[in-house]
Amino acid sequence: MDKNCLIQRKVLRSAVTKTISELDNCIAANDFPAASLAFTKLEEKTKRLFENDELVITYLSSHPDPDTDPDTIVENELEQNETYRDNFISAKVRFQEFFENL
């Protein structure tokens, strides 16, 4: 693993955030086919984002920023992961409620 993994992770986080917005826009427009596609994309991107959690945390722990405490780096990564999981779960609930109300 190298820094490219961390860069890819930032790109995936951005993609997940963008896809959640896309899903919310589709739900607001009452566009089920587009919402369904957006939710499928969100599931795929979220899965890819979390496939390498352990590797990223291991990498961050072994390649710390000299100006940052290693425990802080890992703690921040875990907090970000928790936030993305919460955001995914919220988006999933919104999609399910939208589907049930069709």
Question: Span 32-38, mean pLDDT?
Answer: 98
For residue 79, the model assigns a pLDDT of 87
C-beta of residue 88 within 8 angstroms of C-beta of residue 46:
yes
Angle between helices 32-51 and 3-28 (to 10 degrees): 160
Compute the distance between CA of residue 102 and CA of residue 85 in angstroms, rounded to an integer. Answer: 26
pLDDT tens-digit map of 81-90: 889 999 999 9
| pTM for this entry | 0.83
C-beta of residue 33 within 8 angstroms of C-beta of residue 68:
no
pLDDT tens-digit map of 60-74: 667 666 777 777 877
